[in-house]
């Protein structure tokens, strides 16, 4: 059967050539679309480490005009406590956290290199300054040890850490080398003499769903570092989370006029996340991929339906002969479907070779197309197989749909009539 | 002659409705995709409406300062010092101004309601570079900007929202609790004008700490584009002057970038990087255009070849009666052009639908913003749709037409030679 189909394909090589070329081009493009989409799907399926459902950012600003008189310092800590008390009294608010360059999707971050002890290795990590409620607000789970509280800071400089995908720190200057979290006891900053002992380990986190797990060091916010212009995030109980931002702003604006500070906005972090994904191009990339995939699919569909329609018409007598010689309608249909699938298989074979070679080069980067980050999701060679099967299957389904209509037309002609045409 | 071709082409289309429909849909789809990109690109760069001088306007958006001793660097918007001492009073530009955009909470004395709106800070020449329709009042000049008066211009819809039908001109409004005097009302500006649109406008010098905060981006408008090298030279000289006056510092101003590029170049770490980013973006659009043209072209080539195959005899007869090769070639191309143009018109209309539905993605503006009609239909757009049609036609019918014209007369009459 297959040999027979191959012969037919060879005899019709002129028309098949066009389909073959189109299959190859489309297969290549869909391969890379699939590669990128699986990166998106796979990284999305892994937890970010932050639970941002029902969380909000409260933004406060300072009135510039009424500057405090020189010499008289504001007691920021007292202001902060008043703030926390008032916000917590608002129905539905579960916890309030302060932080610097820490909360996800707020756009500020800091990274730093540190000397880790006892092995004296320079490690690089994301550093976050947080109040202890930060872990409650984002439901970050402790894996070992404990979480610090406000009183800790006075005498010690306890820190909490989280690792990368494999629970390790990355070397600062040597790419690829790592050291396990459990082998690090404390840190030194480059230009400081103080030691920062590790008191706990929490779950790993990513900047956003499509980023990588980055080792992180949480240090606690100092009393005199905190002010109402830091990042302020709150968690709200699910049943109170209806129209919360507008309600809170309206009812609390008066109460939150504290000293020189006033409330500017309340934004849900889900909202912020959307903005971030838009700005770093993920949303745009996905839209482009959906657009180009639908475009290619429709094209393949139109191309196949047209070509096979012509072919079936010009081969009516052949099909008539087949049916009158005892081939069932099913057989004829199967033959046409078989032709398509074998054509696709030949094309896929060529296309895979092209794709694997392109992936080796930095062609995609050079023309600015979205690249899948296999290192971010820890994917290996199995991804190539996934890409192949998904693309092949997808194209096969589309092609069979396209050939179905011409095939039905072919077998619906009475054999005698088809033969008479000769 | 062309009329006969035209009639024949229409007959052909009617004869085989199914295949004709497929060819037209295929063409329309390709042209829809290509035109959606071209039209939205055009909207982003066309000199029109509130931004009539885009073609001769250049931006300096960031300053990057490197410390050669500490090996550290800092990047940010243009500082007041940069602007006042180095980037103003250049010879090349006709107008120079600064602008930045941020959000602000707007309220009125004695009213509890507060709105979060967008505010744009401007210099005096801003009102000459961009074109607004003033309903009432007039903008500030150099004197007002120098003295830092607290004046504000509202857009029509902002005035309505804040003052609820009361007369807004001459009233006071609180911006982040600071009172501002309303001096003018302007007609709303579409969000596609990214440097002109805002809810409120204030002089950059009216902000209390503006000398520390910086001034945002600098906007230069040249008399004509031939002055661009001169502008570039002056900016580079300004950098050198700065480096000479500041020990161990190397300053780079990002720009001058034209309107189409300034957003892309904002991500770059230095000016060479900016050029590379723009180059990559060009390559990307070229590649995408290539795909959008090639795939349908392969598709349609296959179809046209099958169609030509049915007409082998006809072509043989025509050739036997003395039709030259180029006549056959032109006829096939012309027939196909009818299909392409038909698809082109449908595609262009569809592309407007696509842009309208997906303006958030394609234009980067909110879903509820309006797009002025004359930004959609303009000469460059109409011209490019014709060019794309002809291109697609050549790509998709070129090979079939060439093959048809090369056919041997005897073979095509006896149907021995297949395409």
Q: Please give the interface size between A and B, counted as residue pairs whose CB atoms are below 8 Å apart.
A: 114
pLDDT of residue A156: 62
For B36, other C-beta atoms within 10 Å of its C-beta total: 22
State what percent of residues in chain B have pLDDT above 70.
Answer: 98
Give the ranges where B311-406 is alpha helix by DSSP (H): 312-320, 325-357, 359-362, 373-376, 379-406
A contacts of B283 (beta carbons < 8 Å): 366-368
Beta bridge partners of B221: B57, B95
Q: Say which residues have a Cβ less than 8 Å from residue B185's Cβ, sequence separation at least 6.
A: B134, B135, B136, B137, B153, B154, B155, B156, B159, B168, B169
DSSP character for B147?
Answer: H
Quote the CA–CA distance of A17 and A335 in Å, as a whole number.
19
The alpha-carbon gap from B300 to the nearest alpha carbon of chain A, in Å, equals: 7
Q: B182-198: per-residue pLDDT in tens?
A: 999 999 988 888 888 89
Query: Quick one: which H or E segment has residue A95?
Result: strand A93-100
Q: What is the 3-state secondary structure (H, E, C) of B223-235?
A: CCHHHHHHHHHHH
User: Of the candidates B19, B25, B301, which has its C-beta nearest A309's C-beta?
Assistant: B19
Quote the CA–CA distance of A187 and A117 in Å, as a whole number.
6
- Where do we find the tokens 């024949």? B8
pLDDT band, very low/low/confident/very high, at B346 (cuts 50, 70, 90)? very high
- Where do we find the tokens 């092949």? A392
Q: B309-320: per-residue pLDDT in tens?
A: 777 777 778 877
pLDDT of residue A57: 92
Smallest CA-to-CA distance from A406 within A310, A303, A296 is with A310
- Mean pLDDT score, B26-54: 87
Give B 210-239 residues with CB within 8 A of chain A.
Answer: none
Identify the residue among A367, A370, A408, A410 best suited for mutation to test binding to B, counting B beta carbons within 10 A and taking the highest. A367
- Specify the higher pLDDT residue, B349 or A113: B349
DSSP character for B135?
Answer: E
The upper half-sphere exposure of residue B411, i.e. CA atoms within 13 Å in the direction of its Cβ, equals: 10
For A46, other C-beta atoms within 10 Å of its C-beta total: 15
Answer for the pair A28, A320: CB distance below 8 angstroms, yes or no.
no
Query: What is the CA B243 to chain-centroid distance, rounded?
Result: 36
Reduced to 3 states, what is the DSSP secondary structure of residue A359? helix
- Mean pLDDT score, A218-240: 84
Residue B299 to residue A302, Cβ atoms within 8 A: yes
Residue B291 to residue A292, Cβ atoms within 8 A: yes
What b/e string do you get for A273-297 counting C-beta neighbours within 10 Å, with b at 16 or more? Answer: beebbeeeebbbbbebbeebbebbb
Q: Say which residues have a Cβ less than 8 Å from residue A75's Cβ, sequence separation at least 6.
A: none
Tokens of A72: 């008289």
The alpha-carbon gap from B103 to the nearest alpha carbon of chain A, in Å, equals: 9
With a cut of 60, say whether residue A132 has pLDDT above it.
Answer: yes
pLDDT band, very low/low/confident/very high, at A405 (cuts 50, 70, 90)? confident
Tokens of B107: 């309220």
pLDDT band, very low/low/confident/very high, at A233 (cuts 50, 70, 90)? very high
Residue A25 to residue B176, Cβ atoms within 8 A: no
A contacts of B358 (beta carbons < 8 Å): 287
User: Of the candidates A25, A61, A264, which has its C-beta nearest B294's C-beta?
Assistant: A25
Map out the domains of chain B as residue ranges. Answer: 2-48+276-414, 54-258
Residue A14 to residue B207, Cβ atoms within 8 A: no
What is the pTM assigned to this prediction? 0.80
With a cut of 90, say whether residue A148 has pLDDT above it.
Answer: no
pLDDT band, very low/low/confident/very high, at B324 (cuts 50, 70, 90)? confident
pLDDT band, very low/low/confident/very high, at B372 (cuts 50, 70, 90)? confident
- Mean of all residue pLDDT scores within chain A: 82
A contacts of B365 (beta carbons < 8 Å): none
The residue of chain B nearest to residue A304, with distances taken between CA atoms, is B299
With a cut of 90, say whether residue A227 has pLDDT above it.
Answer: no
Q: B55-110: per-residue pLDDT in tens?
A: 899 998 888 888 777 666 777 778 888 888 888 888 889 999 999 888 888 888 88
Smallest CA-to-CA distance from B103 within B80, B119, B88 is with B119
Angle between helices B17-45 and B2-15 (to 10 degrees): 110
- Specify the higher pLDDT residue, A245 or A72: A245
pLDDT of residue A66: 45
Helix %, strand %, coil % for chain A, to 5? Answer: 50, 20, 30
Burial class (CB in 10 A: 0-12, 13-18, 19+), A173: exposed
The alpha-carbon gap from B306 to the nearest alpha carbon of chain A, in Å, equals: 7
Give A 312-351 residues with CB within 8 A of chain B.
Answer: 314
Residue A65 to residue B33, Cβ atoms within 8 A: no
With a cut of 50, say whether residue A153 has pLDDT above it.
Answer: yes
Beta bridge partners of A202: A142
Answer for the pair B209, B121: CB distance below 8 angstroms, yes or no.
no
Q: Tell me if chain A has a CB within 8 Å of the CB of B107.
A: no
Quote the CA–CA distance of A20 and A16 in Å, as a whole number.
6
Q: Tell me if chain A has a CB within 8 Å of the CB of B317.
A: no
Quote the CA–CA distance of A310 and A336 in Å, as a whole number.
13
A contacts of B209 (beta carbons < 8 Å): 64
What b/e string do you get for B267-278 counting C-beta neighbours within 10 Å, with b at 16 or more? Answer: ebeebeebeebb
DSSP character for B48?
Answer: B
pLDDT of residue B418: 52
B contacts of A287 (beta carbons < 8 Å): 358, 361
- Mean of all residue pLDDT scores within chain B: 84
With a cut of 70, say whether residue B415 has pLDDT above it.
Answer: no
- Mean pLDDT score, B143-147: 87
Quote the CA–CA distance of A399 and A190 in Å, as a whole number.
62
With a cut of 90, say whether residue B200 has pLDDT above it.
Answer: yes
For B350, other C-beta atoms within 10 Å of its C-beta total: 18
- Specify the higher pLDDT residue, B414 or B113: B113
């Amino acid at each position: 059967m297959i040999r027979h189909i191959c012969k037919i394909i060879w005899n019709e090589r002129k028309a098949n050539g066009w389909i073959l070329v189109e299959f190859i081009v489309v297969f290549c493009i869909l391969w890379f679309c699939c590669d990128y989409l699986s990166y998106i799907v796979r990284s999305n399926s892994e937890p970010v480490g932050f639970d941002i459902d029902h969380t909000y950012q409260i933004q406060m600003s300072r009135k510039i005009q009424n500057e405090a008189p020189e010499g008289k310092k504001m007691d920021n800590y007292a202001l902060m406590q008043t703030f926390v008390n008032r916000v917590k009294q608002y129905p539905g608010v579960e916890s309030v956290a302060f932080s610097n360059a820490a909360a996800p999707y707020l756009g500020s971050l800091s990274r730093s290199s540190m000397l880790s002890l006892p092995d004296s290795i320079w490690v690089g990590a994301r550093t976050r300054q947080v109040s202890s409620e930060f872990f409650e607000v984002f439901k970050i789970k402790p894996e070992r040890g404990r979480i610090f509280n406000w009183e800790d800071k006075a005498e010690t400089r306890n820190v909490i850490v989280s690792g990368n995908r494999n629970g390790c720190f990355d070397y600062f200057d040597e790419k690829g080398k790592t050291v396990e979290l459990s082998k690090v006891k404390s840190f030194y900053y480059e230009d400081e003499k103080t030691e920062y002992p590790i008191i706990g380990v929490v779950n790993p986190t990513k900047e956003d769903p499509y980023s990588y797990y980055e080792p992180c060091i949480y240090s606690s916010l100092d009393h005199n570092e905190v002010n109402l212009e830091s990042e302020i995030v709150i968690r709200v109980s699910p049943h109170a989370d209806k129209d919360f931002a507008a309600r809170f702003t309206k009812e609390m604006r008066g109460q939150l006029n504290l000293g020189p500070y006033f409330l500017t906005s309340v934004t849900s972090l889900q909202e912020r996340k959307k903005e971030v994904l838009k700005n770093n191009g993920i949303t745009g990339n996905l839209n482009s991929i959906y657009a180009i995939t639908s475009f290619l699919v429709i094209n393949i569909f139109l191309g196949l339906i047209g070509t096979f329609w012509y072919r079936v018409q010009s081969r009516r007598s052949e099909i008539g002969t087949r049916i009158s010689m005892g081939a069932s309608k099913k057989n004829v249909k199967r033959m046409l479907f078989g032709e398509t699938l074998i054509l696709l298989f030949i094309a896929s074979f060529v296309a895979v070779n092209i794709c694997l070679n392109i992936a080796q080069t930095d062609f995609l980067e050079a023309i600015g197309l979205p690249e899948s980050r296999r290192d971010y999701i820890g994917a290996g060679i199995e991804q190539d197989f996934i890409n192949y099967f998904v693309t092949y299957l997808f194209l096969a389904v589309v092609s069979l749909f396209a050939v179905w209509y011409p095939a039905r037309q072919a077998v619906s002609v009475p054999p005698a009539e088809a033969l008479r045409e000769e | 002659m062309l009329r006969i071709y035209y009639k024949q082409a229409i007959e052909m289309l009617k004869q085989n409705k199914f295949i004709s429909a497929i060819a037209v849909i295929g063409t329309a789809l390709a042209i829809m995709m290509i035109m959606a990109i071209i039209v939205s690109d055009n909207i982003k760069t066309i000199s029109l409406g509130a931004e009539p001088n885009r073609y001769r306007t250049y931006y300096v958006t960031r300053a990057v300062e490197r410390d050669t001793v500490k090996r550290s660097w800092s990047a940010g918007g243009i500082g007041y010092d940069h602007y006042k001492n180095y980037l103003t009073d250049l010879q090349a530009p006709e107008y120079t101004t600064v602008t930045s955009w941020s959000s602000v909470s707007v309220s009125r004395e004695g009213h509890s309601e507060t709105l979060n709106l967008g505010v744009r800070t401007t210099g005096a020449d801003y009102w000459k570079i961009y074109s607004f329709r003033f309903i009432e009042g007039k903008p500030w000049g150099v004197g007002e900007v120098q003295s830092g008066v607290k004046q504000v211009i509202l857009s029509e819809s902002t005035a309505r929202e804040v003052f609820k039908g009361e007369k807004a001109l001459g009233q006071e409004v609180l911006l982040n609790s600071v009172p501002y005097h309303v001096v003018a009302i302007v007609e709303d500006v579409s969000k596609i004008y990214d440097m002109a649109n805002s809810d409120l406008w204030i002089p950059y010098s009216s902000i209390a700490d503006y000398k520390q905060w910086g001034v945002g981006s600098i906007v230069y408008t040249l008399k004509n584009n031939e002055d661009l090298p001169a502008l570039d030279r002056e900016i580079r000289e300004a950098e050198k002057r700065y480096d000479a006056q500041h020990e161990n510092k190397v300053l780079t101003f990002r720009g001058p970038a034209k309107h189409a590029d300034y957003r892309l170049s904002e991500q770059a770490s230095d000016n060479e990087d900016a050029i590379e980013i723009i180059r990559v973006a060009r390559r990307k659009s070229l590649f995408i255009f290539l795909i959008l043209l090639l795939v349908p072209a392969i598709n349609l080539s296959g179809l046209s070849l099958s169609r030509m195959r049915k007409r082998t005899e006809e072509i043989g007869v025509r050739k036997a009666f003395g039709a030259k090769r180029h006549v056959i070639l032109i006829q096939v191309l012309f027939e196909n052009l009818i299909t392409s143009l038909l698809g082109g018109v449908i595609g262009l209309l569809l592309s407007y639908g696509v842009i309208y539905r997906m303006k958030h993605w394609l234009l980067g503006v909110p879903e509820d913003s309006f797009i002025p009609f004359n930004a959609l239909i303009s000469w460059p757009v109409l011209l490019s749709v014709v060019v794309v049609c002809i291109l697609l036609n050549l790509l998709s019918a070129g090979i079939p037409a060439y093959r048809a014209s090369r056919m041997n007369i005897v073979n095509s009459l006896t149907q021995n030679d297949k395409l």
